[in-house]
Amino acid sequence: MIRLVTLSFWLACLCATAAAQESPFFVTYTHYMEEPGNLDLEVSTTNGIPRSGQQAYIAPYMEFEYGVTARWTSEIYLEGQSTIGDSSVFTGWRWENRYKLFAREHRINPVLYLEYENVNEASRIQKEIEGGGADLVSSNSVLNGPRSHELEGKLILSSNYRDWNIAENFTLAKNFSESEGIEFGYAFGVSRPLSSLASANECRFCRENFAVGAEVYGGLGSTLDFGPHGAAHYFAPVLSWTVSDNSTLRISPGVGLTPEASPVLIRFGLTYEVRGFGERVSRLLGRRP
């Protein structure tokens, strides 16, 4: 298991070498959007430590996040999954859009979220928990069937109080390939930087470059059987470190709170921001005859 986690960490590090500090959360969304014209490239892994009768797994995914406008962020995900003693599979892709309702900061800042998913049942990145959660028992040969077509919506509420950010997410999802009703989920997170004052000298290990917090998330069943029972729920401390002006490293060791969850869920994420990407592309296209 130590080799498994270490390998996933170094695979993430290979995808970016070196910003404004990002939210440390892996599941909970805040009201902060990507700056217009900037492109974020992120590689992350979800690593599940198994219960008795289960197998350890790595679920890597890549994100391409683009700031369309100051209030609209669009994102593409590519994801896979590898189970120890089983196989490795490509589980699908997702297209996510977030729209911030108000241009100015308010006491509560609402954001609307809409995502189209083309993934199969082998998906275990667990960017959100909806319904009962991911299937952690069945083999990939059983789960790696036709991809489902799913539409997912979220109401994101986010507030800043002094140095703290408090965010609540409410999720509903409809799988149009199966008769599962509408599934529900939730996420709640709090975070803050270790210091809100910048140091006089440039310093990568200074307190202002670190943010800490915690999030709790899980499923709430569906319209066929609503409620938190029989669903996966997690509690996860989070830590982010602004490694350079363009890169952020995030780590989160989560703990499963129910039998449906993995006992431990370890996440790594490394983000590299390409500033002015949209302007560069526009210039390139403008030079063509």
What pLDDT, on a 0 to 100 scale, did the predictor assign at position 16? 38
Distance between CA atoms of residues 239 and 193, nearest Å: 10
Q: Which residues of the chain have pLDDT under 70?
A: 1-21, 287-289
Domain ranges (residues) in the chain: 2-286
What pLDDT, on a 0 to 100 scale, did the predictor assign at position 203? 84
What pLDDT, on a 0 to 100 scale, did the predictor assign at position 21? 56
Distance between CA atoms of residues 69 and 35, nearest Å: 7
What pLDDT, on a 0 to 100 scale, did the predictor assign at position 287? 57
Distance between CA atoms of residues 45 and 80, nearest Å: 10
Give me the residues paired with residue 236 across strands: 215
Tell me which CATH code domain 2-286 carries. Answer: 2.40.160.40
Distance between CA atoms of residues 64 and 76, nearest Å: 5
What pLDDT, on a 0 to 100 scale, did the predictor assign at position 10? 53
